[in-house]
């Protein structure tokens, strides 16, 4: 179509016609065609009626759908009011003979619901008691654990001090042993030097004597130093052994506290798990009982609606019901008006 129009209405760059008609002529012809169609429509009465019937039918269908929707909504509102009327009549103990069979069914359901409600109260009481016991037990266990921790704390501080003293004693002992080994090494080296000096021909007799005296003096000093240090070794070893013994005894007591704390924590965990398990079981029973009550309430709704329908027919005099009667009358009138309008459309 586009190619066809382009072939008819085409322009050169300068705006002059090249192979077809001028473009403005296309719009002029289109306007003429539309004008002719409008004149035909105005002159053809039958065509106008068909168009009017089409649009009228469409509007009527939309109106019909809207009316049907309103009627459904009003009927739902009426049902809710009838349920409310039935509940109110039940609460006010309005039980005429005409509704005896309905009220008997409601009584049976209410009795079941009351029994379930009592069961719920027992379950809630049991759950509350278990939670309270669990809380009290946890608090008691935490107090015991805290007491053990407080009593253990000074021992941990003492252990830190013992470790420091033990390391110091071990360091002093190792240092003393190193000094003894150093002295022994120097004595051995000096003794070898004496032997070497005695057999070395390059030294004179006097030089050998002097050198030997110097080395022997050094040996004597180192031997004395070694003996002095060796005298200290037993006390240093005892000091280290004492620290190890104190450390072992302290650690033993700390381990007992650790074991007690661990035992209390495990006991708390096991007991709490038992509490939680029991509470979950009771909560499960509670959920099942609540479900039964919801099912009973759902079963009561049609009965309340039925009771409300009968009470509305009987129009039992009661000031608590007067407002509901008026609301139901207004809705019924609205439904009749809507149904009348809908009937007129069909």
Phi, psi for 202 (deg, rounded to 5) = -75, -15
The interaxial angle of helices 205-314 and 100-199, nearest 10 deg, is 180
List CB contacts of 237: < 8 A, sequence separation 6 or more. Answer: 173
Predicted pLDDT at 126: 94
The interaxial angle of helices 205-314 and 45-91, nearest 10 deg, is 100
- Rounded mean pLDDT of 133-161? 91
Q: Which CATH architecture group holds 117-312?
A: Orthogonal Bundle (1.10)
Calpha distance 169→175 (Å, rounded): 10
Encoding tokens for residue 10?
Answer: 């085409």
- Please classify residue 46 by burial: count the beta carbons closer than 10 Å to its beta carbon, then call 0-12 exposed, 13-18 middle and 19+ buried: exposed
What's the DSSP call for residue 18? S
pLDDT in tens, 177-191: 888 888 888 888 887
3-state secondary structure of 200: coil
Residue 5 has pLDDT above 50, yes or no: no
pLDDT in tens, 292-338: 999 999 999 999 999 999 999 999 888 889 999 999 999 999 999 98
Calpha distance 154→250 (Å, rounded): 11
Highest mean pLDDT among 38-52, 207-221, 274-288: 274-288
List CB contacts of 314: < 8 A, sequence separation 6 or more. Answer: 96, 98
Q: What is the pTM of this model?
A: 0.57
The lowest-confidence range among 117-121, 161-165, 255-259, 322-326 is 161-165
Task: Give the residues across from 11 on adjacent strands.
Answer: 17
Phi, psi for 315 (deg, rounded to 5) = 50, 55
Residue 279 has pLDDT above 90, yes or no: yes
Percentage with pLDDT > 90 across the chain: 44
Q: What value, to the nearest 5°, has the Cα angle with vertex 313 and ends 309 and 315?
A: 110
Structure-token match 């002093």, residue found? 172
β strands within 74-210, DSSP E: none
Calpha distance 216→214 (Å, rounded): 6
Residue 15 has pLDDT above 50, yes or no: no
Calpha distance 173→163 (Å, rounded): 15
Which band of pLDDT confidence, cut at 50, 70 and 90, is reported for residue 12?
very low
Mean pLDDT for the chain overall: 84
Residue 113 has pLDDT above 70, yes or no: yes
Encoding tokens for residue 64?
Answer: 């019909």
Calpha distance 42→38 (Å, rounded): 6
- Rounded mean pLDDT of 226-248? 84
Structure-token match 């006097």, residue found? 206
Task: Give the residues across from 17 on adjacent strands.
Answer: 11
């Amino acid at each position: 179509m586009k190619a066809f129009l382009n072939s008819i209405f085409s322009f050169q760059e300068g705006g002059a016609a090249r192979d077809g008609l001028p473009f403005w002529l296309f719009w002029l012809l289109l306007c003429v065609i539309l004008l002719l169609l409008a004149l035909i429509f105005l002159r053809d009465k039958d065509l106008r009626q068909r168009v009017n019937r089409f649009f009228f039918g469409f509007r009527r269908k939309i109106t019909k759908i809207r009316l049907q929707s309103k009627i459904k909504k009003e009927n739902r509102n009426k049902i809710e009011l009838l349920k409310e009327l039935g509940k109110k009549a039940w609460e006010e103990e309005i039980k005429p003979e005409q509704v005896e069979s309905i009220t008997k069914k409601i009584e049976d359901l209410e009795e079941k619901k009351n029994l379930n409600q009592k069961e719920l109260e027992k379950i809630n009481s049991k759950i509350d008691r278990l939670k309270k016991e669990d809380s009290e037990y946890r608090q008691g266990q935490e107090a015991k654990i805290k007491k053990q921790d407080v009593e253990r704390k000074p021992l941990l501080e003492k252990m830190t001090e013992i470790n420091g003293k033990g390391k110091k004693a071990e360091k002093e002992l190792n240092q003393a042993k190193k000094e003894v080994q150093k002295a022994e090494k120097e004595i051995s080296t000096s003794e070898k030097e004496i032997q070497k000096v005695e057999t070395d021909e390059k030294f004179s007799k006097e030089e050998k004597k002097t050198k030997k005296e110097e080395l022997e003096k050094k040996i004597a000093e180192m031997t004395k130093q070694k003996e002095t240090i060796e005298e200290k070794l037993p006390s240093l070893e005892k000091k280290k052994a004492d620290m190890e013994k104190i450390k072992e005894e302290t650690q033993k007591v700390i381990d007992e506290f650790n074991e007690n704390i661990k035992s209390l924590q495990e006991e708390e965990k096991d007991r709490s798990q038992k509490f939680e398990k029991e509470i979950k079981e009771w909560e499960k029973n509670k959920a099942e009982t609540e479900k039964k009550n919801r099912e009973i309430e759902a079963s009561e709704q049609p009965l309340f609606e039925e009771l409300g329908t009968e009470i509305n027919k009987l129009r039992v005099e009661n000031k608590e019901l007067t407002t509901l009667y008026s609301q139901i009358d207004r809705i019924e009138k609205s439904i009749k008006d809507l149904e009348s309008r809908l009937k007129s459309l069909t």
